[in-house]
């Protein structure tokens, strides 16, 4: 009889951590494939166009030479139902360039093999969760509302900074740990929370059609504040997501109820383009003065550097959110 392993023995948390790290590797491989050679336009199922992009030297020759045009056009017509064994025309065209194609596209082939392996590993972990009876609360509405207090506290930069610097004059307060079930807002970047809110609302309203739940003042106001603070966010490396384009899909445009949300997105993002820069500049100025004040305090009293290390890290985290990014971009 096969022994049944407990949840602790299956190490589900460790597997999820490893899968999360592998996601970054998968994104890197797909990013490189896209930048090297392949651009999908108008959806894979509608029209499979293989276009060379970027450096022309990275293009395989069979994508540019006329000798291979019949092969590419034949695959385009048959895609995605391409059976090399039954299609004699494709088999004959591939016979002459098989070695060249296989050697050049080996990296791309291996990339998609790795992705399939990643999908299988993910399914295995999800099956373990299901068998073990682990319940995951995936309620997007409650997750969205849980950010309300944290997100708005993130904008109170001046009060937060003054409170942290004020700890210097009250040494015993540094030992007081806030007892709260929520993560401290100082440990979350504001742009990360903007991404969470925008994507959660996009899924909640755009696909789950929970219009009645979203009309609540708290969730709608939170979404409005996020849109007015962020009109785009990074996806991976130099790839960015324009928030307005995220909602400009036929599914939303052709829906009478959802099209009203698109109008709101247009207005809020237009406000972000014109006004968010001024607001972020003001926040960075406050942080610059506060960090300089803290530097002077530690220069005058270096003995405080150790006991107040938590305050230092919290201020640096706030600075990395509001000020450090601007400095890095200038470099």
Question: Contact 186/316 with Cβ under 8 angstroms?
Answer: no
pLDDT by 10s per residue, the chain, length 331 = 445 556 565 677 788 888 888 888 888 888 887 777 554 333 333 333 333 344 455 555 556 667 667 777 777 777 667 666 666 666 666 776 677 777 777 777 888 888 889 989 988 888 887 777 776 666 666 777 777 777 766 655 555 666 655 555 565 655 554 444 555 555 667 778 888 888 877 776 655 555 545 555 777 788 888 888 888 888 788 888 888 888 887 777 787 777 777 888 888 888 888 888 888 788 778 777 777 877 887 888 788 777 777 777 777 776 666 554 444 444 4
Comparing CA positions, the residue from 43, 100, 49 lying closest to residue 76 is 49
Neighbouring C-beta atoms of residue 3, cutoff 10 Å: 5
**Residue 233, SS3 per DSSP:** strand
Q: Tell me the backbone φ, ψ of residue 170, rounded to 5 degrees.
A: -130, 80
Question: Contact 76/84 with Cβ under 8 angstroms?
Answer: no
Q: What is the pTM of this model?
A: 0.60
Instruction: Report the distance separating Cα 214 and Cα 145, nearest Å.
Output: 10
- CA 314, 316, 318, 321 dihedral sign is negative
Q: Which residues pair with 233 in a beta bridge?
A: 241
């Amino acid at each position: 009889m096969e022994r049944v392993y407990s949840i602790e023995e299956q190490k589900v948390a460790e597997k999820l951590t490893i899968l999360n790290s592998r996601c970054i590797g998968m994104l890197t491989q797909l990013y490189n494939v896209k930048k090297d050679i392949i651009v999908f336009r108008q959806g894979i199922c509608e029209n499979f166009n293989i276009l060379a992009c970027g450096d022309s030297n990275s293009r395989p020759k069979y994508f540019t030479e006329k000798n291979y045009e019949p092969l590419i056009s034949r695959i385009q017509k048959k895609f995605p139902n391409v059976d090399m064994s039954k299609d004699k025309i494709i088999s004959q065209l591939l016979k002459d360039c098989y070695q060249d194609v296989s050697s050049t596209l080996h990296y791309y082939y291996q990339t998609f093999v790795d992705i399939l392996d990643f999908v299988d590993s993910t399914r295995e972990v999800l099956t373990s969760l299901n068998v073990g009876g682990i319940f995951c609360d995936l309620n997007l509405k409650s997750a969205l509302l849980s950010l309300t207090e944290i997100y708005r506290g993130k904008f109170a930069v001046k009060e937060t900074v003054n409170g942290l610097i004020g700890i210097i004059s009250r040494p015993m307060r540094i030992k007081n740990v806030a007892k709260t079930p929520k993560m401290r807002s100082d440990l979350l970047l504001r742009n990360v929370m903007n991404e969470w809110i925008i994507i959660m609302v996009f899924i909640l309203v755009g696909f789950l059609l929970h219009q009645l739940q979203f009309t609540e003042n708290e969730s709608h106001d939170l979404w409005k504040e996020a849109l007015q603070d962020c009109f785009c966010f990074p996806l991976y490396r130099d790839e960015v997501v324009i928030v307005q384009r995220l909602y400009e899909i036929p599914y939303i445009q052709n829906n009478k109820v959802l099209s009203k949300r698109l109008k709101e997105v247009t207005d809020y993002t237009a406000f972000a383009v014109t006004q968010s820069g001024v607001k972020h500049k003001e926040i960075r100025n406050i942080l610059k003065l506060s960090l300089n004040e803290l530097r002077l305090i530690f220069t005058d009293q270096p003995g405080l550097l150790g006991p107040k290390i938590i305050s230092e890290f919290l201020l640096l985290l706030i600075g990395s959110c509001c000020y450090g990014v601007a400095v890095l971009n200038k470099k």
